[in-house]
Structure 1
Amino acid sequence: MRDHEPAQDRPGRRLSTKETAELLGVKPETVYAYVSRGLLSSRREPGGRASTFDTKEVEALARRNRREAVGTSGSANDMSVRTHLTLIEQDHYYFRGVDATELATRHSYEEVAEWLWTGRPAPGATFTAPEATVEVARRAVNALSEHASPIDRLRVAAIAAAAEDPLRFDLSEEAVLGTGRILIPTLVAALPAVGHDHEDGAPLAHRLWGRLTGHAPDEASLRVLNTALALLADHDLAASTLAVRVAASARAHAYAAVSAGLGVLEGPLHGAASGLVHRMLLDVLDQGTAVPVIADELRAGRRIPGLGHRLYTGEDPRARVLFDLLEQVPRAEPALLAARDIVATTARHAPLHANVDLALAVFTASSGMPATAGETIFAVARTAGWIAHALEEYGERPLRMRPSGHYAGPRPPQPMPE
């Protein structure tokens, strides 16, 4: 047998980790990520310490990766991404096959995040961050202008936390999970406290409450906040999540991937939408009726925020859950009535249903929170989903998120400009 004969052509020969990585076009650590996800099996030969892999199994995975690459290399409008995380169909959505609304109402945000990340139950899960990391993030956030937006603060906190972590470039599953468990509480702790400050071991929703409002917390309101965080943890490939996967595809570390998501989230059509609804809701409460407020919005050529969702034909299931919980918060009643007035007034002309932004605005407006509070809740919540998608993308072929540009400029050769 010739020494230069390709390893995969030698009958019965198993591949080393290095050979497997080369055949798949990935780093060696990604090979082990494939193993942990059940995409590859490995074994150690008698007397050996290194893992080996079945040639046919590796080749089959390489062929599948190539097929998926072809399927995602067309136009950006035709891009699809294989994921095991969230399914949305028939006005319901599921996290790893489990009804997400049931998960959110029965479990803490931290437990739902762990389910998204690992697919394993994690009763009593808590997230804590090292004091040194929190202190660095707080100093960075405190240096910003008082006019900085919540997303400005969260992005700076994420960058500061990354700079404090010398192991941030470790993209193994264990390391990325550790990043998620540290980054999320760091983001919350770095925000300025405006109310009651819970200790670090408290549920994340309790810690976040004191960053959003000076009102004293009550159990019903804290339950709404926890459920909102859990409901918003992921929602398939929203624009911010796609940005996260593109960053992860380029093997940016998890902090950088989350920062990419936060950048997209600042747009008014994504995470900031609840702030627009919050302001509209206050106008309705001030005027006592939705009719003139809706008329002004339509006269200005604006779409009514808080209504309709391209993925749901009926009411957004996240809104339905939050509205039910808000019924148990007495001070939310005026805002709930105003929200129903908005839906009923608009329904005279368009069959639009409430979405999660309207429910979130009812919560923030009735809890003494600023209009930006919904954006903060959304960003903190969605960080769990971003970590899950980054982790999933690290197990895929690198740089696969590369659509082809369709050039529409002048054809060459063109004269050199004077």
Structure 2
Amino acid sequence: MEAVYLDNAATTPMDPQVISVMQKQMTQTFGNASTPNYYGHAARAVLDQARQTIAQSIHAQTGEIVFTSGGSEGDNTAIISTALYYQKNGRHIITSQIEHEAVLKSLHYLEGLGFEVTYLPVDDQGRITVSQVQRALRPDTILVTIMFVNNEVGVINPIAGIGNLLQDHQAIFHTDAVQAYGTQIIDVQALKVDLLTTSAHKLYGPKMLGFIYERQEIQVPPLIHGGDQENKRRAGTENVPAIAGFAQAVKINQALLDQQGAAQLTAKKELLLQELRQNQVEFQVNGPQPQLASPNIINLWFPHQATDILQIKLDLAGFVVSGGSACTAGSLEPSHVLIAMYGADSPRVRESIRVSFNKFNTAAQIKAFAQSIAQITLA
């Protein structure tokens, strides 16, 4: 029996069209994009076209896109390099308690160097407000880093509002958009963000690849030093076949967004909730209501069902879900996101699972999943 994959916030399966493009490029465009010869020029042309496609997807200029190895490198670069460069203007940073570990651990590193970080609390929906950021702002604040979409409960933060707030302040504004890029329409001009990070494998592209949007007025020294690739902003020979695949994934995804692809994912989430209710399963949604959250993520509390045991039983039944962020899946510690929302003593932090959908999931799969949940929890 083939397992039903419902852990797409961790990673998505690669789109067959993406695989096809990458295979073609690996065969035909194997040159180094930095070399001045026939094969290098061919690779450079593919790289330039991909950069243009990706820049257009977020209404950026091509020179503002820097390819990286993914979200973790992007967050580390955006936070650590920016803070070290702008520390002459202050050493205060603002973030939220529910950020991804790539953000939180970068900030912990900076705290060890003497920077001061304000961690904004969230309500029981996982939300922060523009007014919270405003109250935390100080004359010496140099960086605000707030994730666009939370990877565990799907809450969408008020990025545009924060961007507007910071227009008259010196602070650089970074958003981790790893979970947003692919499910949300993103316009960096309207959002007024200075730095934005993504990862290709969250929208049916290859792993170990992403990009940073760096507003052209912002100075972000490279975190990785070496050659002059990426206009001297990120050393290392570009993975042209993977970047071409990323661009193809973006093209497909933009077309889906234009055709209400997000609504299709939300419908799958609503179907799951409907089926759980019809099967008389006891549960509650962690975080915002489905229509107010990212369309592909829902976090569910099943009272008296330990997260790890429920995952194992579902896995044996042929359904793949997670207990939280994939980056901390090997830890026995409960989700820091759910703790921030409900407190460490809440049973939700040890009795919840994350379900996340992709465009390939069918209604039949979702109904079968709900029935399996019912069989396990009502036994």
TM above 0.5: no
Higher strand proportion (structure 1 or 2): 2
Between Structure 1 and Structure 2, whose CA radius of gyration is higher? 1
TM-score (ref. length: structure 2): 0.25
Q: Which has the higher contact order (CA 8 A, sep 6+)?
A: 2
Higher helix proportion (structure 1 or 2): 1
TM-score (ref. length: structure 1): 0.23
